[in-house]
Protein backbone atom coordinates (compact mmCIF):
# COMPACT_ATOMS: atom_id res chain seq x y z
CA UNK A 1 0.00 0.00 0.00
CA UNK A 2 3.01 2.29 0.45
CA UNK A 3 3.66 2.32 -3.32
CA UNK A 4 0.34 3.75 -4.47
CA UNK A 5 0.63 6.41 -1.81
CA UNK A 6 3.98 7.51 -3.18
CA UNK A 7 2.69 7.51 -6.77
CA UNK A 8 -0.26 9.71 -5.78
CA UNK A 9 1.77 12.00 -3.57
CA UNK A 10 4.42 12.85 -6.15
CA UNK A 11 2.12 14.78 -8.52
CA UNK A 12 0.42 16.57 -5.62
CA UNK A 13 3.74 17.76 -4.24
CA UNK A 14 4.99 18.67 -7.71
CA UNK A 15 1.79 20.66 -8.27
CA UNK A 16 2.59 22.82 -5.28
CA UNK A 17 6.28 23.16 -6.07
CA UNK A 18 5.77 24.13 -9.71
CA UNK A 19 2.64 26.23 -9.72
CA UNK A 20 2.77 28.09 -6.44
CA UNK A 21 5.66 30.37 -7.49
CA UNK A 22 4.03 30.98 -10.89
CA UNK A 23 0.70 32.18 -9.56
CA UNK A 24 2.10 35.40 -8.24
CA UNK A 25 -0.54 38.02 -7.49
CA UNK A 26 -3.31 35.46 -7.83
CA UNK A 27 -4.16 34.91 -4.20
CA UNK A 28 -7.43 33.08 -4.88
CA UNK A 29 -5.81 30.52 -7.17
CA UNK A 30 -2.87 30.10 -4.80
CA UNK A 31 -5.07 29.45 -1.80
CA UNK A 32 -7.30 27.03 -3.68
CA UNK A 33 -4.24 25.24 -5.06
CA UNK A 34 -2.82 24.87 -1.56
CA UNK A 35 -6.21 23.78 -0.25
CA UNK A 36 -6.85 21.17 -2.92
CA UNK A 37 -3.33 19.76 -2.73
CA UNK A 38 -3.38 19.66 1.06
CA UNK A 39 -6.72 17.85 1.13
CA UNK A 40 -5.43 15.48 -1.53
CA UNK A 41 -2.28 14.73 0.48
CA UNK A 42 -4.27 14.10 3.65
CA UNK A 43 -6.67 11.75 1.87
CA UNK A 44 -3.82 9.87 0.23
CA UNK A 45 -2.07 9.40 3.58
CA UNK A 46 -5.26 8.58 5.51
CA UNK A 47 -7.77 7.09 3.05
CA UNK A 48 -10.02 6.09 5.93
CA UNK A 49 -10.96 9.74 6.39
CA UNK A 50 -12.80 9.85 3.05
CA UNK A 51 -15.09 7.02 4.22
CA UNK A 52 -15.93 8.86 7.42
CA UNK A 53 -16.59 12.05 5.48
CA UNK A 54 -18.73 10.16 2.95
CA UNK A 55 -20.91 8.73 5.72
CA UNK A 56 -21.32 12.21 7.14
CA UNK A 57 -22.81 13.55 3.90
CA UNK A 58 -24.77 10.40 3.11
CA UNK A 59 -22.56 8.79 0.45
CA UNK A 60 -21.79 5.07 0.67
CA UNK A 61 -18.02 4.99 0.04
CA UNK A 62 -15.22 7.49 0.30
CA UNK A 63 -14.05 6.73 -3.24
CA UNK A 64 -17.52 7.62 -4.57
CA UNK A 65 -17.48 10.94 -2.72
CA UNK A 66 -14.06 11.76 -4.20
CA UNK A 67 -15.39 10.95 -7.69
CA UNK A 68 -18.43 13.23 -7.27
CA UNK A 69 -16.35 16.10 -5.99
CA UNK A 70 -13.89 15.58 -8.82
CA UNK A 71 -16.69 15.80 -11.40
CA UNK A 72 -17.93 19.06 -9.91
CA UNK A 73 -14.41 20.53 -9.88
CA UNK A 74 -13.86 19.35 -13.43
CA UNK A 75 -16.88 21.24 -14.73
CA UNK A 76 -16.07 24.32 -12.69
CA UNK A 77 -12.56 24.32 -14.10
CA UNK A 78 -14.06 23.97 -17.58
CA UNK A 79 -16.29 27.00 -17.12
CA UNK A 80 -13.48 29.10 -15.65
CA UNK A 81 -11.18 28.14 -18.52
CA UNK A 82 -13.90 28.87 -21.06
CA UNK A 83 -14.44 32.38 -19.77
CA UNK A 84 -10.66 32.92 -19.69
CA UNK A 85 -10.41 31.86 -23.31
CA UNK A 86 -13.22 34.23 -24.25
CA UNK A 87 -11.38 37.03 -22.49
CA UNK A 88 -8.20 36.17 -24.38
CA UNK A 89 -10.14 36.10 -27.65
CA UNK A 90 -11.59 39.51 -26.90
CA UNK A 91 -8.13 40.93 -26.14
CA UNK A 92 -6.72 39.39 -29.29
CA UNK A 93 -9.57 40.87 -31.33
CA UNK A 94 -8.95 44.33 -29.90
CA UNK A 95 -5.27 44.02 -30.69
CA UNK A 96 -5.83 42.91 -34.27
CA UNK A 97 -8.45 45.64 -34.73
CA UNK A 98 -5.97 48.29 -33.56
CA UNK A 99 -3.34 47.02 -35.99
CA UNK A 100 -5.92 46.88 -38.78
CA UNK A 101 -7.09 50.45 -38.20
CA UNK A 102 -3.52 51.74 -38.05
CA UNK A 103 -2.65 50.05 -41.31
CA UNK A 104 -5.86 50.96 -43.16
CA UNK A 105 -5.06 51.67 -46.79
CA UNK A 106 -6.85 54.09 -49.06
CA UNK A 107 -6.41 52.48 -52.44
CA UNK A 108 -6.58 54.50 -55.66
CA UNK A 109 -8.36 57.46 -54.12
CA UNK A 110 -9.05 60.28 -56.61
CA UNK B 1 -15.82 47.84 -65.69
CA UNK B 2 -17.75 51.12 -65.50
CA UNK B 3 -15.86 54.13 -64.27
CA UNK B 4 -16.84 56.70 -61.67
CA UNK B 5 -19.60 58.84 -63.20
CA UNK B 6 -19.65 62.48 -62.16
CA UNK B 7 -23.14 63.24 -63.48
CA UNK B 8 -24.60 60.35 -61.58
CA UNK B 9 -22.83 61.62 -58.47
CA UNK B 10 -24.44 65.06 -58.65
CA UNK B 11 -27.80 63.59 -59.52
CA UNK B 12 -27.65 61.66 -56.26
CA UNK B 13 -26.64 64.69 -54.22
CA UNK B 14 -29.69 66.57 -55.38
CA UNK B 15 -31.98 63.63 -55.08
CA UNK B 16 -31.05 62.47 -51.60
CA UNK B 17 -29.57 65.53 -49.91
CA UNK B 18 -26.37 63.79 -48.90
CA UNK B 19 -23.18 63.18 -50.83
CA UNK B 20 -22.79 59.45 -51.48
CA UNK B 21 -19.17 59.68 -50.33
CA UNK B 22 -20.44 60.43 -46.81
CA UNK B 23 -21.99 56.96 -46.83
CA UNK B 24 -19.42 54.34 -45.85
CA UNK B 25 -20.45 50.94 -47.18
CA UNK B 26 -18.77 48.25 -45.09
CA UNK B 27 -18.15 44.98 -46.88
CA UNK B 28 -16.75 42.27 -44.59
CA UNK B 29 -15.08 39.72 -46.77
CA UNK B 30 -13.52 36.32 -46.22
CA UNK B 31 -12.38 34.38 -49.28
CA UNK B 32 -14.81 36.12 -51.62
CA UNK B 33 -12.13 36.79 -54.25
CA UNK B 34 -14.31 35.35 -57.02
CA UNK B 35 -17.20 37.77 -56.55
CA UNK B 36 -15.85 40.70 -54.52
CA UNK B 37 -15.17 42.80 -57.60
CA UNK B 38 -18.74 42.35 -58.84
CA UNK B 39 -20.03 43.37 -55.42
CA UNK B 40 -17.73 46.37 -54.92
CA UNK B 41 -17.71 47.89 -58.45
CA UNK B 42 -21.40 48.99 -58.45
CA UNK B 43 -20.91 50.53 -54.99
CA UNK B 44 -17.94 52.52 -56.26
CA UNK B 45 -19.93 53.58 -59.35
CA UNK B 46 -22.62 55.04 -57.12
CA UNK B 47 -19.95 57.15 -55.41
CA UNK B 48 -20.16 55.50 -52.00
CA UNK B 49 -17.06 55.24 -49.82
CA UNK B 50 -16.43 51.51 -49.83
CA UNK B 51 -14.64 49.88 -46.88
CA UNK B 52 -13.59 46.31 -47.58
CA UNK B 53 -12.62 44.49 -44.39
CA UNK B 54 -10.56 41.53 -45.53
CA UNK B 55 -10.80 39.01 -42.69
CA UNK B 56 -7.44 37.43 -43.52
CA UNK B 57 -8.61 35.83 -46.75
CA UNK B 58 -6.39 33.11 -48.14
CA UNK B 59 -7.47 33.75 -51.73
CA UNK B 60 -6.70 36.67 -54.06
CA UNK B 61 -9.24 39.09 -52.58
CA UNK B 62 -6.83 42.02 -52.63
CA UNK B 63 -5.76 41.35 -56.20
CA UNK B 64 -9.38 41.13 -57.29
CA UNK B 65 -9.94 44.66 -55.98
CA UNK B 66 -7.02 46.06 -57.99
CA UNK B 67 -7.63 49.58 -59.30
CA UNK B 68 -10.85 50.25 -57.40
CA UNK B 69 -10.93 53.36 -55.19
CA UNK B 70 -11.67 51.76 -51.85
CA UNK B 71 -10.60 51.70 -48.22
CA UNK B 72 -8.86 48.40 -47.67
CA UNK B 73 -8.60 46.99 -44.14
CA UNK B 74 -6.87 43.71 -43.48
CA UNK B 75 -7.14 41.56 -40.37
CA UNK B 76 -3.82 39.82 -39.76
CA UNK B 77 -5.76 36.87 -38.34
CA UNK B 78 -9.14 35.47 -39.28
CA UNK B 79 -11.58 36.61 -36.61
CA UNK B 80 -15.04 36.16 -38.08
CA UNK B 81 -17.71 38.27 -39.71
CA UNK B 82 -18.84 39.98 -36.52
CA UNK B 83 -15.29 41.16 -35.81
CA UNK B 84 -14.86 42.36 -39.40
CA UNK B 85 -18.08 44.36 -39.18
CA UNK B 86 -17.00 45.95 -35.93
CA UNK B 87 -13.63 46.91 -37.42
CA UNK B 88 -15.44 48.50 -40.37
CA UNK B 89 -17.83 50.39 -38.09
CA UNK B 90 -14.98 51.75 -35.98
CA UNK B 91 -13.13 52.79 -39.11
CA UNK B 92 -16.20 54.58 -40.46
CA UNK B 93 -16.77 56.25 -37.09
CA UNK B 94 -13.21 57.56 -36.81
CA UNK B 95 -13.14 58.60 -40.49
CA UNK B 96 -16.06 60.90 -39.90
CA UNK B 97 -18.61 59.00 -41.98
CA UNK B 98 -22.10 60.48 -41.88
CA UNK B 99 -23.81 57.15 -42.51
CA UNK B 100 -22.69 53.52 -42.54
CA UNK B 101 -24.21 50.67 -44.51
CA UNK B 102 -23.29 47.02 -43.95
CA UNK B 103 -23.28 45.01 -47.13
CA UNK B 104 -22.55 41.32 -47.70
CA UNK B 105 -19.62 40.55 -49.98
CA UNK B 106 -21.25 37.62 -51.75
CA UNK B 107 -23.56 39.77 -53.85
CA UNK B 108 -26.86 38.92 -52.19
CA UNK B 109 -27.81 42.57 -51.65
CA UNK B 110 -28.85 45.10 -54.28
CA UNK B 111 -26.81 48.32 -54.48
CA UNK B 112 -29.83 50.23 -55.80
CA UNK B 113 -31.72 49.51 -52.57
CA UNK B 114 -29.24 51.48 -50.43
CA UNK B 115 -31.09 54.83 -50.80
CA UNK B 116 -34.35 53.20 -49.69
CA UNK B 117 -32.59 51.58 -46.74
CA UNK B 118 -30.96 54.90 -45.80
CA UNK B 119 -34.20 56.86 -46.10
CA UNK B 120 -35.53 56.40 -42.51
CA UNK B 121 -32.04 57.21 -41.15
CA UNK B 122 -31.49 60.28 -43.33
CA UNK B 123 -34.98 61.55 -42.58
CA UNK B 124 -34.20 61.24 -38.87
CA UNK B 125 -36.89 58.68 -38.07
CA UNK B 126 -34.40 56.00 -37.06
CA UNK B 127 -30.79 55.61 -35.94
CA UNK B 128 -30.53 52.26 -37.68
CA UNK B 129 -32.57 50.59 -40.38
CA UNK B 130 -32.46 46.91 -41.11
CA UNK B 131 -33.31 45.10 -44.28
CA UNK B 132 -36.02 42.49 -44.15
CA UNK B 133 -36.91 39.87 -46.73
CA UNK B 134 -40.20 39.10 -44.98
CA UNK B 135 -42.22 42.24 -45.70
CA UNK B 136 -43.02 42.08 -49.42
CA UNK B 137 -44.76 39.06 -50.87
CA UNK B 138 -42.36 38.86 -53.84
CA UNK B 139 -39.35 38.84 -51.49
CA UNK B 140 -40.83 36.14 -49.29
CA UNK B 141 -41.41 33.96 -52.34
CA UNK B 142 -37.66 34.13 -53.07
CA UNK B 143 -36.62 32.52 -49.79
CA UNK B 144 -35.97 28.78 -50.08
CA UNK B 145 -38.44 26.87 -47.84
CA UNK B 146 -35.89 25.29 -45.50
CA UNK B 147 -34.06 28.61 -45.12
CA UNK B 148 -37.40 30.20 -44.28
CA UNK B 149 -37.96 27.68 -41.49
CA UNK B 150 -34.48 28.28 -40.03
CA UNK B 151 -34.91 32.06 -40.22
CA UNK B 152 -38.29 31.91 -38.50
CA UNK B 153 -36.63 29.93 -35.72
CA UNK B 154 -33.87 32.54 -35.49
CA UNK B 155 -36.48 35.34 -35.34
CA UNK B 156 -38.11 33.54 -32.42
CA UNK B 157 -34.79 33.03 -30.58
CA UNK B 158 -33.76 36.66 -31.18
CA UNK B 159 -37.10 37.90 -29.92
CA UNK B 160 -36.89 35.80 -26.77
CA UNK B 161 -33.26 36.71 -26.03
CA UNK B 162 -33.30 40.40 -26.92
CA UNK B 163 -36.95 41.43 -26.68
CA UNK B 164 -36.78 42.88 -30.18
CA UNK B 165 -39.32 41.25 -32.45
CA UNK B 166 -38.28 41.81 -36.04
CA UNK B 167 -39.59 40.17 -39.19
CA UNK B 168 -36.13 39.03 -40.33
CA UNK B 169 -33.03 37.66 -38.65
CA UNK B 170 -29.48 37.49 -39.96
CA UNK B 171 -30.03 40.00 -42.71
CA UNK B 172 -26.64 41.64 -43.23
CA UNK B 173 -28.10 44.69 -45.00
CA UNK B 174 -28.31 47.59 -42.53
CA UNK B 175 -27.93 51.37 -42.58
CA UNK B 176 -27.14 53.61 -39.63
CA UNK B 177 -26.21 57.12 -38.58
CA UNK B 178 -23.15 58.20 -36.58
CA UNK B 179 -24.88 57.64 -33.27
CA UNK B 180 -25.51 53.98 -34.08
CA UNK B 181 -22.19 53.26 -35.82
CA UNK B 182 -20.17 54.73 -32.95
CA UNK B 183 -22.21 53.21 -30.11
CA UNK B 184 -22.45 49.64 -31.37
CA UNK B 185 -19.61 47.46 -30.06
CA UNK B 186 -19.88 43.90 -31.28
CA UNK B 187 -18.11 41.40 -29.09
CA UNK B 188 -19.42 38.28 -30.79
CA UNK B 189 -16.72 37.65 -33.35
CA UNK B 190 -18.59 35.06 -35.30
CA UNK B 191 -22.16 34.86 -36.52
CA UNK B 192 -24.01 35.50 -33.27
CA UNK B 193 -23.33 39.21 -33.86
CA UNK B 194 -26.61 39.51 -35.77
CA UNK B 195 -28.46 38.92 -32.51
CA UNK B 196 -25.96 40.98 -30.57
CA UNK B 197 -26.72 44.02 -32.71
CA UNK B 198 -30.34 43.72 -31.63
CA UNK B 199 -29.52 43.65 -27.93
CA UNK B 200 -27.24 46.65 -28.41
CA UNK B 201 -29.97 48.53 -30.24
CA UNK B 202 -32.10 47.89 -27.20
CA UNK B 203 -29.44 48.76 -24.60
CA UNK B 204 -28.32 51.93 -26.41
CA UNK B 205 -31.97 52.90 -26.94
CA UNK B 206 -31.44 53.29 -30.68
CA UNK B 207 -34.49 53.95 -32.81
CA UNK B 208 -34.86 51.35 -35.54
CA UNK B 209 -36.95 50.63 -38.57
CA UNK B 210 -37.25 47.71 -40.94
CA UNK B 211 -37.08 48.26 -44.68
CA UNK B 212 -38.15 45.61 -47.19
CA UNK B 213 -35.22 44.43 -49.34
CA UNK B 214 -34.69 41.76 -51.92
CA UNK B 215 -32.17 39.03 -51.22
CA UNK B 216 -30.59 37.61 -54.35
CA UNK B 217 -30.20 33.88 -53.79
CA UNK B 218 -27.56 33.12 -56.39
CA UNK B 219 -26.00 29.72 -56.65
CA UNK B 220 -22.78 31.23 -55.36
CA UNK B 221 -24.27 32.94 -52.32
CA UNK B 222 -26.23 29.78 -51.52
CA UNK B 223 -23.07 27.74 -51.58
CA UNK B 224 -20.87 30.28 -49.82
CA UNK B 225 -23.48 31.52 -47.37
CA UNK B 226 -24.02 29.95 -44.01
CA UNK B 227 -25.19 26.41 -44.01
CA UNK B 228 -28.45 26.05 -42.14
CA UNK B 229 -26.66 23.74 -39.73
CA UNK B 230 -24.61 26.69 -38.53
CA UNK B 231 -27.75 28.07 -36.92
CA UNK B 232 -27.21 25.47 -34.18
CA UNK B 233 -23.73 26.86 -33.57
CA UNK B 234 -25.13 30.37 -33.39
CA UNK B 235 -27.74 29.26 -30.88
CA UNK B 236 -25.06 27.65 -28.68
CA UNK B 237 -22.90 30.81 -28.91
CA UNK B 238 -25.87 32.90 -27.82
CA UNK B 239 -26.74 30.66 -24.88
CA UNK B 240 -23.10 30.50 -23.74
CA UNK B 241 -22.99 34.28 -23.84
CA UNK B 242 -25.97 34.38 -21.50
CA UNK B 243 -24.13 32.12 -19.04
CA UNK B 244 -20.64 33.64 -19.09
State the burial class of residue B110 (Cβ atoms within 10 Å of its Cβ: 0-12, 13-18, 19+).
middle
A89 within a domain of the structure (yes/no):
no
The per-residue pLDDT for range B127-176, each reduced to its tens digit, is 999 999 988 888 888 888 888 888 888 888 888 888 888 998 888 999 99
B161 within a domain of the structure (yes/no):
yes
The number of folded domains in chain B is 1
The per-residue pLDDT for range B168-186, each reduced to its tens digit, is 888 899 999 999 999 999 9
> Which of A9-13, B14-18, B89-93, B105-109 has the lowest average pLDDT?
B14-18
Q: Check pLDDT > 50 for residue B3.
A: no
Distance from CA of A64 to the nearest CA of B (A): 29
* Residues, chain B: 244
A26 within a domain of the structure (yes/no):
yes
pLDDT value at residue B225: 60
A8 within a domain of the structure (yes/no):
yes
State the burial class of residue B107 (Cβ atoms within 10 Å of its Cβ: 0-12, 13-18, 19+).
buried
By Cβ distance, the residue of B77, B189, B244 closest to A83 is B244
A27 within a domain of the structure (yes/no):
yes
Helices (H), chain A: 2-22, 27-45, 48-57, 62-102
Q: How far, in Å, CA of B19 to CA of B223, rounded?
A: 35
A67 within a domain of the structure (yes/no):
yes
B151 within a domain of the structure (yes/no):
yes
CB contact under 8 A, A99 and B189: no
pLDDT value at residue B141: 85
* Residues, chain A: 110
pLDDT value at residue B11: 44
> Which of A23-37, B39-53, B72-86, B217-231 has the lowest average pLDDT?
B217-231
pLDDT value at residue A32: 83
B1 within a domain of the structure (yes/no):
no
Which residues of chain B from 86 to 115 reach within 8 Å of chain A, CB to CB?
86-87, 90-91, 94
A93 within a domain of the structure (yes/no):
no
% of chain A residues with pLDDT over 90: 41
CATH code of the domain covering residue B68: 3.90.550.10
pLDDT band at B70 (very low <50, low <70, confident <90, very high): very high
A17 within a domain of the structure (yes/no):
yes
Residue A27 belongs to what domain range?
Answer: 2-75
Residue B95 belongs to what domain range?
Answer: 6-243
B10 within a domain of the structure (yes/no):
yes
The number of folded domains in chain A is 1
The per-residue pLDDT for range B177-214, each reduced to its tens digit, is 999 999 999 988 877 788 889 989 999 999 999 999 98
Q: Check pLDDT > 90 for residue B124.
A: yes
A19 within a domain of the structure (yes/no):
yes
Amino acid sequence: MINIKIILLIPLVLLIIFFLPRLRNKTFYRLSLIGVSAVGIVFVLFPGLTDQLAHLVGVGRGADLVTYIFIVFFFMAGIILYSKIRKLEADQTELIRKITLQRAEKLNQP
Amino acid sequence: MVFFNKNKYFAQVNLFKYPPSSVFVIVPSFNEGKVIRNTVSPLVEQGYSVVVVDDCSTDDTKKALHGLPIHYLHHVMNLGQGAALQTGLEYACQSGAEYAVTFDADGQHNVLEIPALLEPVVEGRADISMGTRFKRREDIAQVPPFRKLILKGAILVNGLLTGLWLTDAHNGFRAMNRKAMCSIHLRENRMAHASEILSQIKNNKLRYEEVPVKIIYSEYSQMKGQSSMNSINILIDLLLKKIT
